[in-house]
Amino acid sequence: MRVLLCPDKFAGTLPAPEVAAAVAAGWREVTDGDELLIRPLADGGPGFLDVLAEALDASRVPVPTVDPLGRPATGEILLTGDGTAYVESAQACGLHLLAPYERDPKATTSFGLGLLVAAAVERGARTVVIGLGGSATNDAGAGMLTALGVTPLDEAGQALPYGGAALAGTAALDGAPRLRGAELVAATDVDNPLLGLHGASNVFGPQKGADRADVLLLDAALERFAAVLERDLPGCPAALGALPGGGAAGGIGAAILALGGRCESGIRLVTRATGLDAALDDVDLVITGEGSFDHQSLRGKVVAGVAGAARDRGLPCVVLAGQVSTGRREAAAAGVTDAYSLVEHFGDGERGLEAALSRPAEGLRELGARLARQWSR
């Protein structure tokens, strides 16, 4: 039997390669007669670079940068021989880089991501693919633009402080983007616009520490910043605040679009890089997973992409997750044959949750063995 293991990360506990390895180890405890194809996945958020590094013939280059509060941090760029560089926004802007009490999207900055992109350009990249997701920022990429040479100014001609709230005072821009002709690509499966009810501030701001008053302030600030970008940045598309994907990563998507870049599906990009389509054409069972299998999972996330591709080929697809809250009918419509929860596996309730967070590899190995007993010929 040929089994394809293609999970996403379990956020906060295990990266995607370790998730796949744990499930594979459990399966092999039951039988070693099956062929296991391991293809860890990511959709642009945390783990994007790790997954691509395993799939591509590329070099990882450490780059000094800063975190969302401007503190020193270390990121990486992934360089291929064809002039393409891959960057992960979460390495500089990630919510996981901040303690809960530090989360404040009014003040956090994407400046560190700009440093990573600049480093890729300086190393000769002609295309820079930026994985977007898991960010702590809501500054519409203003920090990133500043690091690339475009600084927002106030009415007095002074550079604005970092953070989304300060953008309410944007009056002009200073400088020009230092991209040396490189093309920017946003790898994201978020199609939210920058502004409005479905925009970055309203939808994602509360996850980053914004209350209702903060959300209203930030949306207005980003509206002002978008208007100045349209007016003063050559090549910026019209109606920037309404373009699909502009709201990704707190509006970094909009900054990439303003620089003449484009958005591309993160899961499709990773699928191509890892050869997932070819693997799906020659297997009997697909196993995928993520930390929380919920209503958001079916909106462009890894699980949705994998399950849909399996369904189209008539393949059974099993989801393993830390927690499962998606209804069976909804999951089945998306192509999911069955779903298993680590929390329930360990006993449900507080005890199960604690075990799922502290011993995820153990639980995944046991679930892998359980699936082998159920599915192996």
The per-residue pLDDT for range 174-194, each reduced to its tens digit, is 999 999 999 999 999 889 999
CA distance 136 to 92: 9
Please tell me the predicted confidence (pLDDT) of residue 300. Answer: 67
Please tell me the predicted confidence (pLDDT) of residue 294. Answer: 85
Please tell me the predicted confidence (pLDDT) of residue 373. Answer: 96
Give the chain's largest Cα–Cα span: 73
Please tell me the predicted confidence (pLDDT) of residue 377. Answer: 80
CA distance 81 to 74: 23
Please tell me the predicted confidence (pLDDT) of residue 54. Answer: 86
In the predicted model, residues of the chain with pLDDT beneath 50 are none
CA distance 14 to 342: 13
pLDDT tens for each residue of 311-348: 999 999 999 999 998 888 999 998 999 999 999 999 87
Please tell me the predicted confidence (pLDDT) of residue 212. Answer: 96
Query: What is the set of domains in the chain, with CATH numbers?
Result: 2-39+275-375 (3.40.50.10350), 48-266 (3.90.1510.10)
CA distance 304 to 311: 10
pTM of the model: 0.89
- How would DSSP label each residue in 89-153? THHHHBGGGS-GGG--TTT---HHHHHHHHHHHHTT-SEEEEE--SB---STTHHHHHHTT-EEE
> Residue 349 CB: number of other CB atoms within 10 A?
10
